[in-house]
């Protein structure tokens, strides 16, 4: 069955889904996006994702193309038309189509595109039991990483650096040698005394929705969390490392830049949180 996309009011086969060449998302990366995991037909953490979507729109002064209720209805219809049980729902809003000019156009209407692709979350859970490899890379992104902007070229380059190295993810490092986040994930460290450490969202990193949920799950398991910057060297010497994202859940990192993390296998804290997040998705 052909995948179905929503493009500015119409449900169309993906092969016929197009946007105008003067869409500002295409010409200026003048837009934002959001991604929602779908597990067994249910959108995971829908309200937090909508909250972040509306925040990103507000930060860039882009008008919402519709209210939250109608947009949620469109999400559900895209899922239904794609017969998606386990999937990733991608939402993109740009400032719309206008004559090319750097300043905001006076008369454009925001453009909305939604797609849906299947994801095997059971395979994700199996991968978490083995863990993944990561490499580090300088963080060269723009200065508003708290906004989920479609301006993702630095993230693309970082992700490709991971693939070229045979790794799953790239750990981004700022000019002072501190870990910020991954190319498409949030990064966590577990110290040798069992404390979970992750960088504060006040430090200009993306407030990950899965990061938020995993944090709540960790508190529910009486785990201690410390929000602070940590260096790349600290990360390499940590008892455990893991990443969080909508499509990866809580994923143990067993190797960074060729260095084993811990004993080179998923540690007990990350494994416990990976299982807890999968239970959350399945609830």
Enumerate the active-site residues.
148
Domain boundary (119, 139, 167) is at 119
Instruction: State whether 70 and 129 are in the same domain.
Output: no
Percent of the chain surpassing pLDDT 70: 100
Cα–Cα dist 214/237, whole Å: 23
Q: What is the dihedral of CA 179, 186, 33, 18, to 10 degrees?
A: 90
Instruction: State whether 36 and 75 are in the same domain.
Output: yes
What is the rounded average pLDDT of the residues 239-268? Answer: 98
Instruction: State whether 140 and 65 are in the same domain.
Output: no
Instruction: State whether 95 and 143 are in the same domain.
Output: no
Total structural domains within the chain: 2
Q: What is the mean pLDDT of the chain?
A: 97
- The answer to whether residue 276 scores a pLDDT higher than 80 is yes
pLDDT for 112 equals 98
Instruction: State whether 153 and 278 are in the same domain.
Output: yes
Residue 98 sits in a domain whose CATH number is 3.30.470.10
Q: Which domain holds residue 178?
A: 124-282
Instruction: State whether 134 and 272 are in the same domain.
Output: yes
pLDDT digits (tens, 9 = 90+) for 31-67: 999 999 999 999 999 999 999 999 999 999 999 999 9
pLDDT digits (tens, 9 = 90+) for 128-176: 999 999 999 999 999 899 999 999 999 999 999 999 999 999 999 999 9
Contact between 88 and 37 under an 8 Å Cβ cutoff? The reply is yes
Instruction: State whether 93 and 162 are in the same domain.
Output: no
Residue 69 confidence class, pLDDT cut points 50, 70, 90: very high
Domain boundary (67, 97, 119) is at 119
Instruction: State whether 257 and 131 are in the same domain.
Output: yes
What is the rounded average pLDDT of the residues 112-130? Answer: 97
Q: Long-range CB contacts (< 8 A, 24+ apart) of 77-81?
A: 77/6, 77/11, 78/4, 78/5, 78/6, 78/11, 78/114, 78/115, 78/116, 79/38, 79/41, 79/43, 79/116, 81/4, 81/11
pLDDT for 2 equals 78
Residue 79 confidence class, pLDDT cut points 50, 70, 90: very high
Instruction: State whether 110 and 150 are in the same domain.
Output: no
Instruction: State whether 231 and 247 are in the same domain.
Output: yes
Instruction: State whether 263 and 143 are in the same domain.
Output: yes
pLDDT for 61 equals 97
Domain boundary (119, 147, 178) is at 119
Percent of the chain surpassing pLDDT 90: 98
pLDDT for 204 equals 86
Instruction: State whether 151 and 204 are in the same domain.
Output: yes
Residue 265 sits in a domain whose CATH number is 3.20.10.10
- Residue 111 DSSP one-character state: E
Residue 189 confidence class, pLDDT cut points 50, 70, 90: very high
- The answer to whether residue 1 scores a pLDDT higher than 90 is no
- The answer to whether residue 275 scores a pLDDT higher than 90 is yes
Q: Which two tokens stand for residue 194?
A: 């069992």
pTM of the predicted structure, to 2 decimals: 0.95
């Amino acid at each position: 069955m052909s995948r179905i996309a929503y493009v500015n009011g119409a449900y169309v086969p993906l092969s016929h889904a197009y946007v105008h060449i003067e869409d500002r998302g295409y010409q200026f990366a003048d837009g934002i996006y959001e991604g929602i995991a779908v597990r067994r037909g249910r959108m995971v953490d829908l309200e937090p994702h909508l909250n972040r979507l509306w925040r990103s729109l507000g930060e860039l002064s882009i008008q919402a193309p519709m209210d939250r209720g109608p947009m949620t209805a469109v999400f559900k219809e895209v899922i239904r038309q794609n017969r998606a049980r386990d999937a990733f729902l991608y939402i993109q809003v740009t400032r719309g189509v206008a004559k090319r000019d750097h300043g905001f156009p006076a008369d454009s209407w925001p453009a909305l595109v939604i797609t849906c692709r299947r994801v095997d979350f059971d395979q994700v859970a199996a991968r978490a039991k083995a863990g993944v490899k990561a490499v580090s890379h300088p963080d060269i992104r723009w200065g508003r990483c708290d906004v989920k902007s479609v301006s993702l070229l630095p993230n693309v380059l970082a992700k490709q650096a991971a693939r070229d190295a045979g790794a799953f993810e790239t750990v981004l490092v700022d000019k002072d040698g501190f870990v910020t986040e991954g190319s498409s994930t949030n990064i966590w460290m577990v110290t040798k005394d069992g404390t979970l450490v992750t960088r504060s969202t006040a430090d200009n990193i993306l407030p990950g929705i899965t990061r938020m949920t995993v944090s709540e799950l960790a508190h529910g398991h009486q785990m201690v969390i410390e929000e602070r910057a940590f260096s790349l060297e600290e990360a390499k010497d940590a008892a455990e490392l893991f990443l969080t994202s909508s499509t990866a859940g809580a994923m143990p990192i067993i190797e960074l830049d060729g260095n084993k993390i811990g004993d080179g296998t998923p540690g007990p804290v990350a494994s416990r949180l990976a299982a807890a997040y999968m239970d959350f998705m399945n609830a």
